[in-house]
Amino acid sequence: MISRLRRLLFPEPELQATARQVEGPPWPEETRISADLRDVRFEPETLNVELAGITAERVDFSGLRFHSFLTERCSFIDCDFSDVQVEWLPFGDGGSLFRDCTFRGASIGDFGDVRLERCDFTNADLKGWFTWDADIVRCRFAGRLSGVVFNGRDLESSGQNEFVGNDFRDADLDDIAFRLGIELDAQLLPEGSEYIRIRDLPSAVKQARDEIRQWPKPDREAAVQMLDVLERVYEGEPDVFTKREFLLEMSDSAEVGERVLGLLR
């Protein structure tokens, strides 16, 4: 099993390649929208859609399949994106706003520079989304949520994304990470026993190291190794919220892993 832990600790090496420019097929035709939309069913003429500077209110996009859905400075208010599928990412960009929209069952994978307010992502497939530029406020995530990294900011920016009031209580958070300054206490998180919350990780790890000095050598060495990996994976993060099984993957011994988690909590 190629685990999430291995991907974090041992990224694929950078590949060197050369390329030559060749003439390919023409870019597919696009449907360009520059006028506001209200109370209509969206029926594009092509699978490539570009919307610029518009406001869309109560527009029904449900069930549509797009090759690309590009936006620039747009506002989508109370729109239905249920079961939408998009192939070319990101879905939405350019400082666009989505407010009170539903993405139930949508397969959209990734957003760009957007603001999401009070949107519903029940059973949405967002796999691969790294929220470098997205503000996410009071949105609902339910059903299985996998392969998403929620970031509090872009790596090259000192400004924080707004990430508050989001409801994950009915979500199965599989391979999910909250990184770069996201305030966990400002979210509604699942409370099941399969999850673990570690507050003030640096202090918790330090106290755990002090405790395991008294353990027998084999257990002590396994515990130290687990703590080393934990610090590396969550370097710079004050708090951790994840599934227990993910942290237990950091130890070769399930028994030692459980004992270490008991100290960290």
pLDDT by residue (tens digit) across 22-37? Answer: 455 555 689 999 999 9
Q: What is the per-residue pLDDT for 265?
A: 84
Per-residue pLDDT tens digits for 114-155:
999 999 999 999 999 999 999 999 999 999 999 999 999 988
State pTM to two decimals. Answer: 0.86
User: 161 with 136: CB under 8 angstroms?
Assistant: yes
Residue 2 has what pLDDT? 42
As a whole number, the mean pLDDT across the chain is 90
Average pLDDT (60-76) is 97
Q: How confident is the model over 211-233, as a mean pLDDT? A: 95
- pLDDT tens by residue, 87-98: 998 999 999 999
Average pLDDT rounded to a whole number, residues 213-230: 95
Please say if the pLDDT value at position 75 is more than 70: yes
The CATH code of domain 30-191 reads: 2.160.20
Which secondary-structure segment (H or E) carries 178?
A: strand 171-179
Where in the sequence of the chain do the CATH 2.160.20 domains occur? 30-191
What proportion of the chain, given as a percentage, has pLDDT over 70? 89
* Sequence-ordered list of residues with C-beta below 8 angstroms from that of 51, at least 6 positions apart, any chain: 32, 33, 34, 70, 71, 72, 74
Q: According to the model, what pLDDT value does residue 1 have?
A: 40
Identify any residues that bridge with 33 across adjacent strands, giving them in sequence order: 51
From CA 264, how far away is CA 196, in angstroms rounded? 10
Burial of residue 263 (number of CB atoms within 10 Å: 0-12, 13-18, 19+): middle
Average pLDDT over residues 206-230: 96
- The CA radius of gyration of the chain, in Å to the nearest whole number, is 22
Would you say residue 168 has pLDDT above 50? yes
Which amino acid is residue 32, in one-letter code? R
Sequence length of the chain is: 265
- Note the pLDDT of residue 6: 54
